[in-house]
Every structure is written in structure tokens, then in C-alpha cells.
Structure 1
Amino acid sequence: MGHSHGHAHGHAHGHHHHHAFGGDGAIGWAVAVNLALTAAQIFGGLIADSTALIADGVHNLSDALALVLAFGARRLARRAATPDFSFGWGRAEIVAAFVNYLALIAVSVWLAIEAFGRLADPPQVAGGLVMALAGFALIVDLATAALVFRLSKDSVNIRAAFLHNLADAGVSVAVILGGALIWAFGWNLADPILTLAISVVILWHIALEIGPVFRMLMLAAPQGSDPSRVIAALRDLPGVDDAHHLHLWQIDERRSAASVHLVVATGDFAEITLRAKDVLRRDFDVGHATIEIEKPDACADDAVTARDQAS
């Protein structure tokens, strides 16, 4: 899939996305295969009377949807900024990843409830059919994971889809083992127990991954950044008496932004602004900074607030 197609599609969407076409093609295939698999598994699960197999099928459906979501968000994220959407569409990926995790939580909880219902009275399950279909699913999951792995390194929402697939492969392995137990020993409890185990694994994964996504949505400071250090560094700049009203947030996975007020009694305002932006970019990786310079005791925000309170 190299970069050979770069020049052919380069004019279509900027030079820095020349790998994107290959990525999109991979995702398209992954979606198609996962949808075919879902149909086979749910149908097979109904015939074999196995919740674990239906669960695996539903999980594969959520997988396909996750990829569709990831794919759509990737396309959206490439859209140029407009006066209306001044930060561009980079955050579409964060929203997609968040929706994705919420959907997975719902699926996992639903699976667990189903499984609890069947623990008391496990039905007869056709183990052979279960093993065959889960084996097919395992191959598809690993193939999909391989297709999206290359892209998962640089995008939180493709990573969510990739995790889906790994969870899926695990699910399929478990279902194959369950089918083997049922087929060899007639141990029908294997089916609901597996279903429960699958839910727990998925929920545990999400617990690890949802935090950073939630922070971005809440406009929290970028993970690992220290706002007090940023303020201290700005206060240390020559000519700067004080720094306050600092806001740090992430526009998307790759871009951080800041806005801050600097108190400057004397000196070249433009020069100080430039220096402050340099410090933010170099030491704190903030590429998008808005800096307001004000005279001592003349903070515009405070004055407006005071005026509002007086009236």
C-alpha cells in the first residue's frame, strides 16, 4: 500500500494526507467484511441457540459501526476551517471516539444482563456450529485489526476501533473454547459464563481509554501539562509583572491552545507577546495562543465583571 499513489491523489486532499487514501480503502474493506460476519453470526447464533455467538455477532456489528463512525470522523476532520467552524473539524474524531465508547458500554451491560438470565437455566447449544462460526469471526477480526493497526497509531478514534477489534478477537477465541467445552462435555454453562467474561473485558478497556477523550471534550488542560508551571514561566519573562486568566485546552489530539492575560508596565508590547508565544510553543507545545497585554490594575475582564456587579 506504500506511498506510490500519493501523487495521483495528492491534488484531491492536500499533500500532507497522501497516505489517507490507503487508510480509507482499508477501513472500507474492514466495514464490509464485518457486516457480512455480523449477519452470519447472528443467524448462526439463533440456529445454535447460543447467546455467546449472538453476543459476538452484535459485538461485530458494533465493530462495523465503530469503523463507519471512525471513517466518517476522519473525513470530517480533514475539512478546512471556516469562519463559522474556526478550529476546523478536528474534534469530530474526539466526539466519534466518545460516542463509540458509550455504545460499547451499552452493549457490554446488555450482554451481561442476558448472560445472568441464562446462568440459572442454560439452554442446549450446538457447539460445533458455534466453533465454526467463531473461528471464521476470529480470522476476520485479526484481518480487520491488521488493516486498521497502521492507522491506529495517530488517531484516537481509529484506536478505539482497533481496540474494538482486539476485544472482538478475544471474544471469538473465548467463544471457540466455549463451543469446544459444550461440544466435548455438554457443559452448557460455558456459554453464559463466557458472555459475562467478555463484558468485563470490554468495560475494563473502556475505563482505561475514555479518560483522555472526556478531558478533551471538557476543555481540560492537555494531559501531562501543568498550568501552574505555564503561569510561572510567563511571569518569569522580562518585562512581565504578572500573568493571570490562563486557559489551556486541546483543540484536538494534535493541537493545543491557550489564552492568557499578561500585566506589563513598560516595554515593547509586541516584543513581549512574541516572546510569550515562543515560550508557550517551545516549552509547552501550545501552537495556538491568544495573549492579552494590560497595564497594572487595568484588567479588562475584572473591570467588566465589577461593572456588571455594580449595576
Structure 2
Amino acid sequence: MYSEFKEFKNYPRPEEVDKWVESIWKMANSIKYDVEVLSDNGFSFNFGIRHVKNEFTYVKFKPEGMDEFYGYWQPVMSGPAPLLIHTPGYGAEISAHPELVSQGYNVLHISPLGYATPSGPDESKQRDNTWPVLADTIISYAEKGYKQWLVNCILAVRWAMAQTEVIENRVSFFGTSQGGGCSLLLGSIFKDKGVRCVAADVPFLTNLPMAKSLRAITYNYEPLCSIDNTDDGWQALGFVDTISHVNRLNCPVLLTAGGKDNICPAEAIKSLSQLLSGTCSYNYFENLEHRYSREFITLLLSWVRMYA
């Protein structure tokens, strides 16, 4: 694939990635969970945001054997309509998207693993002053961390798909940074299960060996030093590297990259675009840093209008 990066020799083969995805579905199918739609919309004077009653609302997901986590449900006024799933960056923020709802889309923001709540981040879940999802992926050899993160997303998507406002089997994924990378992973996971398109903004978890060689996101590789076998750690990263999912991404994919992004470098994102065989739009912004941008929102609105 990219023989100049020795880490790729440890990456899983396509058939191993398929089995890993199957194991995610098996885990999701085995979990019973309750859902509570919160009546107060999570309003707080600290946040200073209030919506029309029962328009946008928090949803609490309570899976057996896993931590509770939240979604932020933003339905259309009149449906049924397509479903858009937004996933958060590594800061575990919760986002509202009235601009998408006004264009006729249901939007569910998912905050996996209980990192963010209606009253703010749950800092008790941090480790070494950061969220441990990537470290847990490495030290568990891809059996925890992002695997559980993605299982949470499946449970939340299933709930949203069952809502009367939603067109059955018509879901798209979008996000920035970690949210962009995981949107691509969800596009792979939901292959042939209703996925329409993916929009990944400056996506993390993309060609990690190349990103490392460019001295980007080096802090995210520290967990590799805590395990006995670094090669196995790189294999774990390979399961969540979007490069490993190119054969499964059979829906239209929108990618953005920034010339001043020193966290998720444009070169790594461009390399993903060159491997995708289907419809793909790679958008490079020379002066864009690593952030959620107006440029992406403008592209996103056009992308979902064409494909969602």
C-alpha cells in the first residue's frame, strides 16, 4: 500500500477488517438497551441556549454492561426525511445543526462512551487529562476503545431509524477530526445497510503511519510505548485507520483537508482519496487550520442534497 512506511506491515488484511466489522455488529446485536428522551432539552443558563419545546432534545441511551451515553436529537418539523448522523471530535463536544434541519434532514449527534452529557463533559472518564478512547483501542488490541465507541453509534442509529420522522434505511454520516474519521468507519460498518454518503472534515484516523512521519498528532502515539509489542499496537490502529476500510466504502465520500492543519495533515487525507474507487470529492484549503469550518458546512449542504 505505502511500502515506505514500515508500520503498514502490521496492518490487518481486508478479510481481517471484514471480520472486525462483523464482530462489532455481533456485539451491538447482543446488547439490550433502554432509551430515555429527556423532557427538559438539557437547557442550562450556563449554556444560554433554548429551543422550541420538544423541537430539539437530549436522548439518554442505557446499554446493559456499558456506560450510559447521550445523543442530541434534531428532527425535521415534517417528515419522513433522511437521517444524518454527526459524531464528535476528540474534545467530545455536542453539536446542534439547525441549518441542516431547516433544509429537511433529521440530525442525531451522538456522544459515545458517556464522555459528554447535557451538563457538560464527564471529566471522571478522562485519563491523564485526555479521553482514553484511542489508548484503550491500542492496549486492548482493538477489542475496546473505538470498538465500543462504534457499537454505541450503532445502537443510537437504530433508535433514530425507528423514529416516525425518518425514512427507513437512509442514513449518512458526517463529522470533523475524530468525527470525520469515525464517520468514514461508520460508512464502512453500514455498508449495504442503508448508508447513502459520508462527509469527513479534516478526518483523524487517516493514514496514521504517514501522519506520524509528518510529525503530526505525535501525542496520540504515546500509548504504543505502554504495551509489550508495538507491532500489535500498530495492528490495532490499523483496524481503525480509514485507509484499511477503502474496499468497504462504496458510498460517495466527501473529504476536506487544510494546508495549515498540523494534527490531521492534508497529505494523509489526500492519500485516502487516491485509494477510494467510488465517487469522491477531495477539497484542499491552503489556509485552513484544524477546525470545524464554514467551508465544510457549505460543502456538506451540497453533498447531502446530492446524495443523502
Under a length normalisation based on structure 2, what TM-score does the superposition of the two structures give?
0.25
Higher strand share: 2
Q: Which structure's CA Rg is the greater one?
A: 1
Under a length normalisation based on structure 1, what TM-score does the superposition of the two structures give?
0.25
The structure, 1 or 2, with the larger RCO (C-alpha pairs under 8 Å, 6+ apart) is 2
Higher helix share: 1
